[in-house]
């Protein structure tokens, strides 16, 4: 079974600084997708960024970017110019297309605090 | 609105009662998923549908849990004879059916079993 591990239960960053959240996963598949979701205090689940495993180029969405290392099975999220609104729980998620159907497998989450 | 909607947003019930949780997916999305999220943890997969067909129900914890999507749109997750351990946030997500799609989540239903 696929597993997703987020080894940092909590992280903090100063406003306007940069922070990196770590995620590793375990799979024997070559074709899959990776996601970062944000869960603010409202407990909504908001997509931050996604990465296709077959793409070598790292995904970027404004201040959010990923460092995807396929061989190392690592998928970290970098938040640049952190803002108070970035404070949330961040979940890394994996999805495989074939044997597991379309389910998302989530990590345990990293609680990000942004200090003014 | 254009997003996934769920109702009720909050449900408090007594142990032993049955509950039905509703999900209305984004218009045009043919895949619908149910997840359960305990406090402080990531969501865990329960089941999913493509159109009205239930494709995978391996995540349902036991036979008290069932789900249906009879017309390929709205889905209902039913929990029979609720137990305190069923207390959690129940989340629904939907997506288009093409390869590589993203799942978009609804606001969730917070279930509390007393």
C-alpha A102: how far from its chain's center?
A: 18
On whether any CB of chain B is under 8 Å from the CB of A64, the answer is: no
Model pLDDT, residue A8? 96
Model pLDDT, residue A29? 84
Pairwise CA distance, residues B87 & B82, whole Å: 9
Secondary structure (3-state) at A86: helix
Q: Which residues of chain A have pLDDT under 50?
A: 99-100
On whether any CB of chain A is under 8 Å from the CB of B45, the answer is: yes
A91 burial class (0-12, 13-18, 19+ CB within 10 angstroms)? Answer: buried
Digit-coded pLDDT (tens) for A1-24: 679 999 999 999 999 999 999 999
Residues from chain B contacting residue A102 (CB–CB below 8 Å): 31, 33, 48, 55-56, 95, 103
Pairwise CA distance, residues B37 & B110, whole Å: 9
Q: Residue B43 and residue A101: Cβ atoms within 8 Å?
A: no
Digit-coded pLDDT (tens) for B2-18: 799 999 999 999 999 99
Q: Residue A104 and residue B35: Cβ atoms within 8 Å?
A: yes
Digit-coded pLDDT (tens) for B42-91: 999 999 998 999 988 999 999 999 999 999 899 999 999 999 999 999 99
DSSP state of B85: G
Pairwise CA distance, residues A74 & B41, whole Å: 20
Query: What is the four-CA torsion angle of A42, A51, B59, B82, rounded to 10 degrees?
Result: 0
Q: Identify the bridge partners of residue B11 per DSSP, sorted by sequence position.
A: B111
On whether any CB of chain A is under 8 Å from the CB of B42, the answer is: yes
Nearest one of A52, A49, A35, A109 to A79, comparing CA atoms: A49
Model pLDDT, residue B34? 97
On whether any CB of chain B is under 8 Å from the CB of A7, the answer is: no
What DSSP element (H or E) covers A18? none
């Amino acid at each position: 079974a696929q597993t997703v591990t987020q080894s940092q239960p909590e992280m903090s960053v100063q406003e306007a600084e940069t922070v990196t959240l770590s995620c590793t996963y375990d799979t024997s598949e070559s074709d899959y997708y990776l996601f970062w979701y944000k869960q603010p205090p409202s407990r909504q689940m908001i997509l931050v960024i996604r990465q296709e495993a077959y793409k070598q180029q790292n995904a970027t969405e404004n201040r959010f970017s990923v460092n995807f290392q396929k061989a190392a099975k690592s998928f970290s999220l970098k938040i640049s110019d952190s803002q108070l609104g970035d404070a949330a729980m961040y979940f890394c998620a994996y999805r495989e297309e074939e044997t597991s159907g379309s389910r998302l497998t989530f990590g345990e989450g990293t609680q990000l605090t942004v200090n003014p | 609105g254009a997003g996934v909607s769920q109702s009720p947003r909050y449900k408090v019930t007594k142990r032993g009662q049955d509950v039905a949780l509703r999900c209305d997916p984004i218009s045009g999305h043919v895949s619908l998923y149910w997840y359960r999220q305990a406090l402080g943890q990531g969501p865990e997969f329960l089941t999913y549908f493509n159109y009205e067909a239930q494709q995978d129900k391996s995540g349902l914890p036991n036979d008290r849990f069932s789900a249906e999507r009879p017309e390929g749109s709205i889905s209902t997750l039913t929990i029979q004879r609720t137990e305190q351990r069923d207390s959690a946030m129940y989340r629904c997500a939907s997506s288009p059916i093409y390869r590589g799609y993203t799942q978009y989540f609804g606001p969730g239903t917070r279930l509390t079993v007393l």
